[in-house]
Amino acid sequence: MDAWRPDPRAPPFVPRRQASLRARGAASLRRPPLLLLPRGRRLARLVQGGLMLVLMVTIAINISFIVDKTRQLRTPSATLGSEGDGGGAGVGRRNNLRLQESPPKTLMVEVLSSQNRVAVTVDGATIVEEGEEGKGRGIHVVVLQQASGAVMAQRVFDTYSPHEDEAMALFLNMVSPGRVLVLAVKDEGTFQMKASGRDALRRLGSVHAHELGWRDMWAMVAAKGGRVYEEQVSRSADFNSWGTPITLKAEVALVPLQESECSWPDTDEHRRRREFCGHIEGYGSVCSCDDPAPLAFTTEPLLNNQVHEVPVAIIASNRPHYLYRCLRSLLAAPGVNPDMITVFIDGYYEEPLAVTKLFGLRGIQHTPLGVKNARIAQHYKASLTATFNIFPAARFAIILEEDLDVSPDFFSYFSQTLTLLEEDPTLYCVSAWNDQGYEHTGSDPALLYRVETMPGLGWLLRRSLYKEELEPRWPTPEKMWDWDMWMRLGEVRRGRECIVPEVSRTYHFGSSGLNMNSFFQDTYFKKHAFNTLTYVELKDLDSLKQGPYEELLAGMFSRATLLDHTTSPCDEDFIPDTRGQTFLLFIHMAHHKDFTTWLQVAKCLRIWDLDGRGYHRGMWRLNIKTNPLLIVGVPFSQYSKYKPASLQPLNLETTSKEKTKASDKTGVRR
């Protein structure tokens, strides 16, 4: 402090904040006029001022818009929303007050129909694009939500093939009123188009449906129950040509969202229904506004239910309508326990999972492995492994496929037969399906057989068999094997047999799939016998064990009547029209793989004739004209001892034409 001396020239002390203000004030006083600034700075100042002006105007417009809309919402229009120009898009849905007077928005739909390509675009977005050769033949159908334009369903119906027109008509009937439908032909769509299919198109408003011909190109956009927005047809000039490509454009008016929804009660069941029906179409009464189909089922209790805690694994892919039908029949069967049902979906497909959740069931998706039959085999393995992991205490599992109906006594059947599988080590499985159980070869639902082949199509599996034998040896993804054919191999089956009913407890309705088409469904599955009784008490269950079963067969052989081996089994009177008799037929069978004569006999009897299955120790057991029929393969079968020494067994050779036909069918498996 002693060294300090005052400095008279020093400026006075000013606090920092005040100094800043004074500096800014002085700077503003010193700021030159705009015209005196350099040209670049003048331009920058003008731009800043313009931006501030635009910002202020924008704020004012927004405030005005908000005030105006608030006033409109608080003062509802006195006019009810109507179908009017919306083409009936609100039919069957809530008809609420319109909250805005501005015209509805529209969709621009463009459709291409041609020999080699079909395409659908909505507002420039491609919805359907199919140009690969050999794929997508027939009529393509797209369903759009009438309020948003969202895609709710997409299907292809190969109406060149049998029954596809019936499937198309059913699907169109199941679509809710008001939905926007887009239809287009690729390649050919009328060869198997019968009156029912054409009538379904006519009900949509088509004026060309009944005159569509061979290789005509055709496209249409319409609202179901409402107007046709656009329809075009292009005729083929002759049998060897196609109609010229069609490019159809249609402007579709959207309706308010409220007009496309149903006013269901706010319950758990209806919340699931609302979620499903809001974005998926084609399920008929389940989405009905007025009378929706129930999603919960009240069934009669099953007394002494031995399978109440047995898990049910449903093997599914991307066939959601099949899965929907399967689940409805399963959940309606007495004895069902929904908590034990799991749907396994091979791939991350939205619609099958949505169908599963619609019924409140557990659904599991997984990444596919392999291709074609190998992929199916890996799907089965993953599903079976997951089933026993989810239910670690389960000693059995029921395996079902998505294209099967189940009988009313499905769970009763397995409840009564579970003890057999538990107690008899010579049994491989219990199946609900009889490969040879057709309407004319099976009539007694209480009767059971033992067979060496594994039928599948609804079957009961032991946990120990799967975990100890099947799972470790299951075919790997690179092996193109059918899982069921692998399970029938002698080294896998190891002499064990399956129990099957004379009348099946499942019905195979699927006509599309990797190894299935409508021809094979009609030929080999459509006329299978199917039990429709709610409860059937099964006969003589103890006689199905290995020892007693042989005693039962011995009694049948002792009282059997020989058929005339000099006549053809194709003759209508080959099996006499009598009752109360057991008939016996001996055929040539040199070894365990010699099915030459059997396949000819099976063809005559109009049963499964693609390979040998459904036999027990070289003997087939059928029921024709209400009479038991035993067919024994000689000399292979141990039952050859019942053949009279002088009798020549029936020996039928396969013609070269039939061999070719049989080889063509070998690709069809289940």
Q: How far is Cα 83 from Cα 632, in angstroms, rounded to an integer?
A: 70
What local confidence, expressed as pLDDT, does residue 69 receive?
Answer: 62
Contacts (Cβ under 8 Å, ≥6 apart) of 221: 109, 111, 180, 181, 182, 183, 228, 229, 230, 231, 248, 250, 252
Ramachandran angles phi, psi of 588, nearest 5°: -75, 130
Residue segments in the chain with a per-residue pLDDT below the cut of 70 = 1-40, 42, 67, 69-104, 513-514, 516, 654-670
User: Can you say whether residue 223 is alpha, beta or left, with left for phi > 0 and alpha for psi between -120 and 50 degrees?
Assistant: beta
3-state class of 250 per DSSP?
strand
**Residue 419 CB-half CA count within 13 A:** 12
The two three-digit tokens of residue 184, written as one number: 């287009």
What local confidence, expressed as pLDDT, does residue 72 receive?
Answer: 57
Q: Write out pLDDT tens, residues 609-662.
A: 999 999 999 999 999 998 999 999 999 999 999 999 999 999 998 654 454 444
What local confidence, expressed as pLDDT, does residue 627 receive?
Answer: 92
Catalytic residues: 403, 484
**Cis before residue 635, ω within 30 degrees of 0?**
yes
What local confidence, expressed as pLDDT, does residue 90 receive?
Answer: 40
What local confidence, expressed as pLDDT, does residue 587 receive?
Answer: 97
User: Can you say whether residue 234 is alpha, beta or left, with left for phi > 0 and alpha for psi between -120 and 50 degrees?
Assistant: beta
Q: How far is Cα 179 from Cα 183, in angstroms, rounded to an integer?
A: 13
Q: Which uninterrupted H or E stretch holds 314?
A: strand 312-316
Query: How does DSSP classify residue 642?
Result: G
Answer yes or no: are the C-beta atoms of 565 and 651 closer than 8 Å.
Answer: no
Contacts (Cβ under 8 Å, ≥6 apart) of 581: 561, 627
Q: Give the number of other Cβ atoms within 10 Å of residue 243's Cβ.
A: 21
Q: Write out pLDDT tens, residues 203-220.
A: 999 999 999 999 999 999
Q: How far is Cα 271 from Cα 131, in angstroms, rounded to an integer?
A: 39
Query: How does DSSP classify residue 69?
Result: H
What local confidence, expressed as pLDDT, does residue 667 receive?
Answer: 45
Q: Using CA of residue 523, residue 375, residue 355, residue 399, what is the dihedral sign?
A: positive
The two three-digit tokens of residue 117, written as one number: 């390509």
Q: How far is Cα 440 from Cα 622, in angstroms, rounded to an integer?
A: 9
Residue pointed to by tokens 């896998």: 492
Ramachandran angles phi, psi of 606, nearest 5°: 60, 50
What local confidence, expressed as pLDDT, does residue 87 receive?
Answer: 41
